[in-house]
A and B are shown apart, each in its own frame.
Chain A
Amino acid sequence: MATHDVRITVNGEPQAAAVESRLLLVHWLREVLRLTGTHIGCDTTHCGACTVLLDGEPVKSCTVLAVQADGREVTTVEGLEHDGTLHPLQEGFQQEHGLQCGFCTPGMLMTGRALLERNADPSEAEIRQAISGNLCRCTGYVNIVKSIEYAAAKLR
């Protein structure tokens, strides 16, 4: 069983680890670092519950090997809040009822964060396009769009 020494910055903190070749990034985050905010919904690259930022871009962490993140930066939902203050996106999801069961929420937040970094004032269509790889079974998306709009307005 081949292992590799990797250095990955997670939520701003450098981590060093020996990972097996086949270890998926999502499993390393959840099971080794115990960052369980990143969810596993489908495990077949469809749902986006496992979305994290890899060097700032949202990707499905169930379809990236941990070793592929060597030397790179990963941001998970745990990296959004700072010193007890929620990120405007988290606040938006609270204010606009952007979640019901909450299972899709970590992925939605990370995709939303990457969108707002690129586009400070996205239209509804742009928001819907950006989150089209993140499935929600509860909300019907309307309030998720409003939550992201709330955050965009607050960040501007």
Chain B
Amino acid sequence: MIPSAFDYHAPGTLEEAVALLERLGDDAKVLSGGQSLLPLLKLRLGDAGHLVDIGRIPGLTDITEADGYLRIGGTAREADLERSDLIREKYPILLDTAAVIADPLVRNRATVGGNLAHGDPANDHPATMLALGAEVVARGPDGERTIPITGFFTGLFATALAPAEILTEIRIPVPPPRSGGAYVKLERKVGDFATAAAAAQVTLGEQGEIVRVGIGLTNAGPTPIKATAAERYLQRRQPDAEAVAAAAQLAADATSPSADRRGSVEYKRDMARVLTGRAITRAVQRAGGQ
């Protein structure tokens, strides 16, 4: 399948890329890993007169900790996450997530930033970033701004990014000691989008009680979902089986999945419940709790 004709641009700097996007207007799209965009263009489900490839802009692929944040460059690939010693040692929740996205070949191209910018509620990183309380850094004609992840997903395939804005970095507050996170996904086969999936990030207090918690859900509604009622419920509680089960139920109550070949509404909602419970339990274990 061949996409309809477009022109390709490969700016060498962010300034150039933003200027190009501004000049070309609505007809232009950012091209990053291309693993969502090119399939859409090939199937002609999407259309673009111009692609602005940000993949050749240097300095956007680093994964580092600095000034209290884990910083993931705007064009860092899933494969870069998987191979990063920092991620392997300190952020197993991100490793959990990258490992279940598409397949290893797609992950050699697909970027973490693109996974968020695509605005697909079936993508896996949004839930994880909601759980981690991330921020997205965007560069546009008016300079740089920071968007909290809770305000980033504005609708189905829609984000807070303006048309000429480029996602340049994802910032995750470095978790305090006694923190842990996990992402658990149910998929029919490798490369499938989630039937249901849940991310949980917790911090434990002196007595093993939960002092901070973030829970995100994948493919459970028109946008990625932050399970706020479940988070509130867990605050200051001991994460025992009963509390985890109650929180998992509250998370499931917040979903509005649609029925498709992956399952019925009831099935998906129940899977969201089961997976939320597992994600919280694993997160607590990784935080050093019971």
A and B associate in one complex: yes
Does B106 belong to the interface (CB within 8 Å)?
Answer: yes
Interface stretch of the complex, out of B87-95, B97-105, B254-262, B263-271 = B97-105
Does A41 belong to the interface (CB within 8 Å)?
Answer: no
- Residues of A in contact with B, size category: 20 to 34
Q: What's the dominant secondary structure at chain B's contact region?
A: loop
Q: Are A21 and B6 in contact (CB-based, < 8 A)?
A: yes
User: Which of B4, B8, B43, B105 makes the CB contact (< 8 A) with A67?
Assistant: B8
Residues of B within 8 A of A58 (CB): 104-105, 108
Q: Of residues 41 to 74 in A, which have CB atoms within 8 Å of B's CB atoms?
A: 43-46, 48, 51, 54, 57-60, 62-65, 67-68, 70
Known: A22-B2, A45-B39, A132-B190. A60 touches B106 (CB 8 A): yes
Q: Of residues 1 to 58 in B, which have CB atoms within 8 Å of A's CB atoms?
A: 1-8, 10, 34-35, 38-39, 41-43, 51, 53, 55
Known: A43-B42, A45-B39, A133-B103. A2 touches B108 (CB 8 A): no
Known: A2-B8, A21-B8. A51 touches B34 (CB 8 A): no
Residues of A within 8 A of B3 (CB): 22
| Measured CA separation A119–B102 after assembly (Å) | 21
Does B109 belong to the interface (CB within 8 Å)?
Answer: yes
Does B274 belong to the interface (CB within 8 Å)?
Answer: no
Does B288 belong to the interface (CB within 8 Å)?
Answer: no
| Measured CA separation A65–B5 after assembly (Å) | 12
- Tell which of B3, B42, B102, B105 has the most Cβ of chain A within 10 Å: B105
Residues of B within 8 A of A35 (CB): none
Q: Are B7 and A21 in contact (CB-based, < 8 A)?
A: yes
- Residues of B in contact with A, size category: 20 to 34
Does A24 belong to the interface (CB within 8 Å)?
Answer: yes
| Measured CA separation A46–B190 after assembly (Å) | 10
Residues of B within 8 A of A80 (CB): none
User: Which of B35, B51, B108 makes the CB contact (< 8 A) with A45?
Assistant: B35
Does B68 belong to the interface (CB within 8 Å)?
Answer: no
Q: Are A57 and B5 in contact (CB-based, < 8 A)?
A: no
Known: A130-B104, A133-B103. A63 touches B5 (CB 8 A): no
Binding site for A on B (CB under 8 A): 1-8, 10, 34-35, 38-39, 41-43, 51, 53, 55, 79, 102-106, 108-109, 190-191
8 closest cross-chain pairs (CB), A and B: A133-B103, A21-B8, A133-B105, A2-B7, A132-B190, A57-B108, A22-B3, A63-B38
Query: Can you list 6 residue pairs at the A/B interface with Cβ under 8 Å?
Result: A4-B8, A22-B6, A44-B39, A63-B106, A67-B10, A70-B10
